């Protein structure tokens, strides 16, 4: 009897938790946004488990359907399946980047292999693949729309590229590889976050921080106070590390932070990532070989605009040839400036940013400290949102009724000129312990149309790590931070303006080397007088940014642009080197990295330092064999913006074409088809070379 009562109590407790779990009920919130106020970490695993269970049942029903396979009962049915699992995974992984904790990171370790196992089981389901293949083999006779044909092609290719055509014994190997890769990638990212969060340096002598701006001093003093210490507390986040490299007169301090930053996750660290790098690249190679590809890059690029490694290397090499002479000249200019100002040594990596900034200030009389008063965050928001209004007729209204996951986060209703609801946009601007470094856009709900054709609009978020307000000043952004805002907002527009039928083809679900076009395109406006005139006002006086200062921004926009290009190329070469190996790698990760980047590395190489061990983009962020995409997209964005420059940066017809052919289409067609529809021709590097002053 006691045992029975205990079982009843357990059942009741489970039922109560299910009833309270926000993943198991329809949200009664504006636009059915996620009810973050109801969320607890303990709700994730039950929701994941139930989501996997429901999705598997839906897949089994499709696979065992007695009717002949059709586009609707197989391809569309698969696309519509897994709603609960998609909901919980979307929320969990978005928050695991923006507001994580130890419990969530443990959940990520548990759930990632489960999700991989689940998706692999679907991809290797022979009955299901037989139905997909049957529809695919009849594709020429089905009279499908362009979007439907793309969904069918992507679905079939998704199976084929994930082992569906492998014999049974190799399918088991593929399953294990996928599971191991998932775990290794999660561990890599967690190691980077823990290493970054684990570093701090307390400065008690104010003289050590000579040269640092007042707001930096106030920010780091506040950090020290929060930690119960007197002085100025430094860390490795961008809002601290970047300013130290730029402004600190104390060379020893610059070196100390640079070394700390560039020795993260090395073998002497508690969070060593070198062995994980070996494991990840070898697993990727093994997976590619199983599927008949010589390298992982060959496998990854088959669905990219670049198509094959040779085309990536051609882009990288062409840009290196064009920019390296100018970059060498830029470095010489900085070295000459430093030498003329008492630096009787060869410029080192921790010196370049410091002397470069001083040379820029002397040459153009403009720097972040001059510009920041004109880039108060609230005004920048108005400017960026206003740009979307001018180009695409979008309007942003803060909605206090939408629940957010942190008090600093804001939520906006996005509507068009007629008041029609377009999307929800969440903004999250400042660094926190639970937020990884960098900046990104993601979503809590994607855009799609249901079976009855009703348009379900997206919920988009942009997450950044901008300078915080202090006790005496609002958040004043550096020029690069404004640029980052525009970049991520471009991704957000790609998501918000999506107008597709299928979620898997909607918004930013495009080829990796196409996805950066909308984001990098937006950066072009930051050196346009018409744009800056509209929002850049002094936070104290309300004075508009002076015309001569705007001209200085324009004049300085290409300062050290070639050096910056080579830095990006270094990441691209490094990425391709790791993922074009043809034999399992067991060598020295640091030496391998340095050899790969040597052709574009102009500064002295420092022993026992590395970037690869924190290179989350390619080891845990989905950019494996894809980091070149930033340069590829830069060619596209320069070429695209040249049309706006020719017609007027706010030209309605040009903006309408970009919106309808690029931003709204998602991955519904091949990106080159979409681009040519907007541009009228394929892109060339000419516009980029012209924009950066190389040509």
Residues with active-site annotation: 488
Give the integer Cα–Cα distance in Å for 594 and 612. 10
- DSSP E strands, 348-483: 395-398, 410-415, 421-428, 440-445, 448-449, 455-456, 459-463
Q: What is the per-residue DSSP string for 258-306?
A: HHHHHTTTSTTSTT--HHHHHHHHHHHHHHHHHTT-SSHHHHHGGGSSS
160: closest CA among 307, 308, 60, 302? 302
Helices 146-160 and 126-137 pack at an angle, to 10 degrees, of: 140
- Token pair 């639970």: residue: 434
444: closest CA among 55, 109, 146, 22? 22
Which residues are bridge partners to 376 per DSSP?
Answer: 476
User: What phi and psi values does residue 694 have, to the nearest 5 degrees?
Assistant: -80, -30
Check if the beta carbon of residue 290 is closer than 8 Å to that of residue 173: yes
Q: Quick one: tokens of 173? A: 């190997």
Give the integer Cα–Cα distance in Å for 103 and 612. 27
Give the integer Cα–Cα distance in Å for 406 and 673. 41
530 C-beta neighbours (distance < 10 Å), count: 12
Check if the beta carbon of residue 330 is closer than 8 Å to that of residue 562: yes
Q: Quick one: tokens of 505? A: 């083809």
Give the integer Cα–Cα distance in Å for 546 and 366. 12
SS3 410: strand
| Cβ neighbours for 424, distance < 8 A, ≥ 6 positions apart | 30, 31, 33, 399, 402, 411, 412, 413, 414, 444, 457, 458, 459, 460
132 C-beta neighbours (distance < 10 Å), count: 24
Which residues are bridge partners to 459 per DSSP?
Answer: 424, 445
Where helices occur in 206-250 by DSSP H, the ranges are 214-226, 238-247
DSSP state of 32: G
Give the integer Cα–Cα distance in Å for 392 and 490. 12
Q: How do strand 421-428 and strand 459-463 relate by DSSP bridges?
A: parallel
32: closest CA among 406, 645, 444? 444
């Amino acid at each position: 009897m006691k045992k029975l009562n205990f079982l009843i109590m357990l059942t009741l407790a489970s039922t109560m938790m299910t009833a309270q779990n926000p993943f198991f009920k329809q949200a009664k919130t504006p636009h059915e946004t996620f009810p973050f106020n109801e969320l607890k970490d303990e709700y994730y695993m039950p929701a994941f488990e139930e989501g996997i269970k429901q999705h598997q049942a839906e897949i089994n029903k499709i696979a065992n359907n007695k009717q002949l396979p059709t586009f609707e009962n197989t391809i569309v049915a698969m696309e519509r399946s897994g709603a609960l699992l998609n909901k919980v995974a979307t929320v969990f992984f978005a928050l695991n980047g923006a507001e994580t904790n130890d419990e969530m990171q443990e959940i990520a370790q548990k759930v990632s292999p489960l999700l991989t196992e689940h998706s692999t089981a679907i991809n290797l389901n022979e009955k299901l693949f037989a139905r997909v293949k049957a529809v695919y083999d009849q594709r020429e006779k089905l009279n499908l729309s362009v979007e439907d044909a793309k969904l069918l092609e992507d679905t079939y290719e998704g199976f084929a590229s994930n082992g569906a055509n492998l014999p049974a014994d190799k399918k088991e190997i593929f399953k294990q590889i996928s599971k191991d890769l998932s775990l290794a990638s999660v561990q890599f990212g967690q190691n980077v976050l823990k290493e970054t969060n684990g570093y701090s340096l307390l400065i008690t002598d104010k003289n050590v921080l000579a040269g640092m701006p007042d707001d930096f001093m106030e920010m780091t003093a506040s950090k020290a106070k929060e930690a119960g210490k007197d002085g100025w507390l430094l860390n490795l986040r961008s809002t601290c590390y970047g300013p130290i490299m730029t402004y600190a007169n104390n060379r020893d301090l610059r070196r100390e932070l640079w070394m700390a930053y560039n020795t993260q996750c090395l073998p002497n660290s508690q969070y060593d990532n070198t062995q994980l790098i070996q494991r990840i690249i070898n697993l990727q190679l093994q997976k590619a070989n199983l599927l008949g590809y010589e390298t992982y890059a060959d496998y990854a690029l088959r669905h990219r605009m670049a198509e094959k490694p040779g085309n990536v290397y051609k882009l990288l090499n062409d840009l290196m040839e064009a920019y390296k002479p100018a970059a060498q000249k830029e470095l010489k200019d900085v070295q000459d400036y430093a030498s003329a100002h008492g630096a009787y040594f060869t410029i080192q990596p921790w010196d370049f940013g410091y002397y470069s900034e001083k040379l820029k200030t002397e040459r153009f009389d403009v720097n972040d400290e001059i510009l920041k008063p004109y880039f108060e965050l609230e005004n920048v928001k108005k400017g960026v949102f206003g740009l979307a209004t001018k180009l695409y007729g979008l309007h942003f209204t803060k909605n206090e009724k939408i629940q957010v996951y942190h008090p600093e986060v804001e939520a906006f209703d996005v509507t068009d000129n007629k008041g029609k609801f377009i999307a929800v946009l969440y903004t999250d601007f400042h660094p926190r312990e639970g937020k990884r470094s960098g900046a990104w856009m993601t979503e809590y709900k994607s855009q799609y149309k249901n079976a009855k054709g009703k348009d379900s609009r997206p919920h988009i978020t942009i997450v950044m790590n901008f300078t915080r307000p202090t006790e005496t000043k609002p958040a004043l952004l550096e020029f690069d931070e404004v640029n980052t805002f525009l970049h991520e907002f471009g991704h957000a527009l790609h998501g918000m303006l999506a107008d597709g039928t299928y979620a898997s083809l909607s918004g930013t679900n495009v080829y990796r080397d196409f996805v950066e076009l909308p984001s990098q395109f937006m950066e072009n406006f930051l050196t346009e007088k018409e744009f800056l005139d509209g929002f850049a006002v002094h936070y104290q006086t309300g004075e508009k940014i002076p015309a001569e200062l705007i001209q200085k921004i324009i004049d300085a926009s290409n300062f050290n642009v070639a050096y910056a290009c080579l830095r990006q190329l270094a990441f691209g070469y490094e990425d391709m080197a790791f993922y074009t190996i043809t034999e399992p790698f067991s060598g020295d990760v640091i030496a391998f990295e340095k050899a790969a980047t040597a052709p574009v590395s102009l500064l002295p190489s420092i022993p026992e330092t590395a970037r690869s061990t924190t290179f989350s983009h390619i080891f845990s962020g989905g950019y494996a064999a894809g980091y070149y995409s930033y340069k590829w997209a830069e060619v596209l964005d320069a070429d695209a913006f040249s049309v706006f420059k020719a017609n007027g940066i706010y030209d309605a017809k040009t903006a309408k074409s970009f919106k309808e052919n690029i931003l709204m289409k998602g991955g519904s067609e091949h990106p080159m088809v979409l681009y040519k529809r907007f541009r009228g021709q394929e892109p060339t590097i000419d516009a980029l070379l012209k924009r950066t002053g190389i040509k």
